[in-house]
Structure 1
Amino acid sequence: MIGLRPAFSTLLFLLLLTGGVYPLLTTTLGQWWFPWQANGSLIHEGSIIRGSALIGQSFTAAGYFHGRPSATADTSYNPLASGGSNLAVSNPELNAQIQARVAALRAANPQASSAVPVELATASASGLDNNLTPDAAAWQIPRVATARQLPVEQVAQLVAEYTHRPLARFLGQPVVNIVELNLALDALQGHRAK
């Protein structure tokens, strides 16, 4: 019994440290130093939560920029089913999905003369990606401008405004947060697109 005392003391100490002190400390520091990130990077419109800056949403109307296809099962952009499709590049099913997406994108964007950007035809690893490259967003500008009856230059300026650039080039590439961009389009016109 005496030999078990140090083991139980160590167990109790580690249980309190890892199950109590550490979570409280990290939660407190996170709320103090990074409150927006610690609370899910939520995007508010007044008192209403419109989404998260970290999770994509399904935008299908012509007046919205469309994000990457979602690979989540059953429901598009389902955060509970996050994950890729696990289809290999050599899988004919993946190739068929990509070809169908390219055809749908071409039909929805008849003004686009260049090739469909790869990220608009392929799902991300998480299936919930909220960012596109500026080129993929720019490819959709004519459709969005036409649907919203806005000048192409004004929509292009909005894309440039919502392009997030890393502090240094080696830290990543510029990205456009589609959720923020679409909400800005709605705010610009004072209503949601159809």
Structure 2
Amino acid sequence: MRRVIAIAAAGLSLTGCTSFSSSDPLPSLSDALSRPPPAALQLQLVSTPPGANALTSLGPGCTTPCSVALQAPETGFSTTSEFTISYTMDGFLPATMVVQVVHVGGSLAAPPSTKINPNPVVAVLQAVAPTPNPTKKMIRPDKPAKNSVVDPSAPPRASAAQELERLHALLVRGVISQTDFDSLKAKLLRSSLY
């Protein structure tokens, strides 16, 4: 008989454990099981300069500055995982950033949580250095006039300054007159302008 009373008492005490009043801090098992799945996490993506294409290794991507929605996985224990964000933009070197996702499993007292670190994910893109132009312009020598005849045995032509010095030396030595010097100088200066 004592066994029957002990079993009945234990049964009554267990039925009291299955229902909590609204003032109890712990939810019931049915409340914990009926929780909605975790909401999508918003991840902010930023780049300097803005306008870069950002693509996550999980799939979603956008043009910065923007945000993408990531579905938080349901796990029953604490875990950390990683994924990457690749930033690309014309004229800039690509950049890849590593993002950590920390999942903390829930209990009857607390819902599961997921944190993304860092959030926002900021990438500073470096400009591509301009490549040197491998083809240089070739400088062509001046072509002689079509009607001019060049004597290959003739000495190289002196510059206008050298020719003017030669004429002045002739004037000083008395080989040519001042009138001849002025006439030759004017002719030399006119021909050097063309």
Q: Higher RCO, 1 or 2 (CA under 8 Å, sep at least 6)?
A: 1
TM over 0.5: no
Higher strand share: 2
**Larger-gyration structure (1/2):** 2
